[in-house]
Amino acid sequence: MGEAVECEGLTHEKYDVDEQLKAFVEAGGVLLACGTCLKSRKLEDDTSCPISTMFDCVNMVVWADKTVTF
């Protein structure tokens, strides 16, 4: 299960992940979080990173020229 769902709120002096996520979304980027990964960590979706399904992921890959996963 991916640990990327835990990245919201992470800050570091050199690598401010939370700020980068906000900048990405403000620039029109779309974030999707694996529902299973969120539920296994007892996390909930929010407005910046809603729960996605496998159907959502397949549609994103078909639609996008490039995708980034981690």
Domain ranges, residue 38: 4-63
Please report how many Cα atoms fall inside a 13 Å half-sphere around the Cα of residue 26, on the Cβ side: 6
Residue found by looking up tokens 């959502």 in the block: 56
Place of tokens 């996963």: 69
Which long-range contacts (C-beta less than 8 Å, at least 24 apart) are formed by 56-61?
56/32, 57/32, 60/30, 60/32
Residues 54 and 18: their CA atoms lie apart, in Å, by: 25
pLDDT in tens, 5-35: 767 777 778 888 888 888 988 999 888 888 8
Residue 69 has pLDDT above 90, yes or no: no
pLDDT at 25: 87
Q: Is residue 68 one of the residues assigned to a domain?
A: no
Helix (H, G, I), strand (E, B) or coil at 52: strand
14, part of any domain: yes
